[in-house]
C-alpha cells in the first residue's frame, strides 16, 4: 500500500514540477518601443568603460583644460543647484533636458572637448552639491548620454573636492541671503 501511495504521489507531482519549471523559464514578450533601446545603452556603457577611465582628470588637469580655447564646461545638474554654486564658465543643461537639439545649441561640434562634473565631485555644500549614490552619480549618466548623442571627446573631473579648498573657481548666481 505504501508503494502504491508513493507511486501515485510521484505520478501527480512530477508533471506539476515540470509545468512550474516551464513557467519559470518562459520569458515575457518584449514590449516594443522604438525610442528606448536598452541593448544599445549597454553597448555604449561597455564600449566607453576603458576610455572613460583614461578621461578622468585630477583637479589640476581639469583646471588646465578649462583654459584651452573651444573647450565646453558642462554642468548637467539642476538649474537650481547650478545657480547656488558652479564652476565659473560652466554652461548649464540639466541632464533631464538632454536632446539632440538642446545639446547642439551648447555643443554644436561632436569633436568639441567637453569637461563634465557633478554633485559627487564636491563636498561641503549639500545644498549645491547633494551627493548621489555612487552608482547613480550624474557623471556616469552624463558621460554615457553624451556618447549616445555622438560626442567624442568627454573628460570628467575625477576626485571628490572640498568646496572651501578647491582651486577650481566656484561662483554663485544666487543673491546673498
117 falls within a domain: yes
Tell me the three state secondary structure of residue 170: strand
Residue 54: the pLDDT is 96
5 falls within a domain: no
3 falls within a domain: no
87 falls within a domain: yes
Instruction: Give, to the nearest 10 degrees, the angle between helix 38-54 and helix 138-148.
Output: 110
Residue 168's CATH number: 3.40.250.10
Residue 176: the pLDDT is 60
CA-to-CA distance for 88 and 84, rounded, in angstroms?
A: 12
137 falls within a domain: yes
Under the banding of pLDDT at 50, 70 and 90, the label for residue 14 is low
Q: What is the average per-residue pLDDT within 21-43?
A: 85
Residue 174: the pLDDT is 74
Query: Contact at 8 Å (CB) between 154 and 143?
Result: yes
Q: Provide the number of structural domains found in the chain.
A: 1
Under the banding of pLDDT at 50, 70 and 90, the label for residue 26 is confident
Tell me the three state secondary structure of residue 175: coil
Report the percentage of the chain scoring pLDDT > 90.
80
Q: Does position 93 have pLDDT exceeding 60, yes or no?
A: yes
Residue 5: the pLDDT is 53
Write down the pTM of the prediction: 0.82
E-only strand ranges, the chain: 56-57, 72-75, 86-87, 91-92, 113-117, 122-123, 153-157, 161-162, 170-171
What tens digit of pLDDT does each residue of 100-118 get? 999 999 999 999 999 999 9
50 falls within a domain: no
CA-to-CA distance for 81 and 119, rounded, in angstroms?
A: 9
153: Cβ–Cβ under 8 A, 6 or more apart, which residues?
111, 112, 113, 114
132 falls within a domain: yes
Residue 13: the pLDDT is 63
Residue 3: the pLDDT is 64
Provide the residue range defining the domain that includes 78.
56-177
Give the range among 27-36, 140-149, 161-170 with minimum mean pLDDT: 27-36
48 falls within a domain: no
Amino acid at each position: 500500500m505504501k508503494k502504491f501511495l508513493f507511486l501515485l504521489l510521484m505520478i501527480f507531482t512530477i508533471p506539476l514540477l515540470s509545468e512550474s519549471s516551464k513557467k519559470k523559464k518562459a520569458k515575457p514578450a518584449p514590449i516594443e518601443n522604438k525610442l528606448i533601446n536598452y541593448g544599445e545603452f549597454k553597448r555604449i556603457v561597455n564600449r566607453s568603460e576603458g576610455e572613460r577611465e583614461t578621461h578622468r582628470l585630477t583637479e589640476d588637469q581639469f583646471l588646465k583644460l578649462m583654459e584651452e580655447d573651444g573647450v565646453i564646461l558642462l554642468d548637467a545638474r539642476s538649474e537650481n543647484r547650478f545657480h547656488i554654486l558652479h564652476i565659473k564658465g560652466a554652461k548649464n543643461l540639466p541632464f533631464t533636458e538632454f536632446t539632440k537639439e538642446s545639446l547642439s545649441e551648447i555643443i554644436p561640434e561632436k569633436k568639441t572637448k567637453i569637461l563634465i562634473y557633478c554633485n559627487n565631485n564636491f563636498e561641503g555644500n549639500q545644498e549645491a552639491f547633494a551627493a548621489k549614490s555612487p552608482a547613480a552619480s550624474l557623471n556616469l549618466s552624463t558621460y554615457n548620454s553624451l556618447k549616445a548623442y555622438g560626442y567624442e571627446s568627454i573628460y570628467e573631473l575625477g576626485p571628490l573636492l572640498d568646496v572651501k579648498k578647491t582651486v577650481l573657481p566656484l561662483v554663485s548666481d544666487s543673491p546673498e541671503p
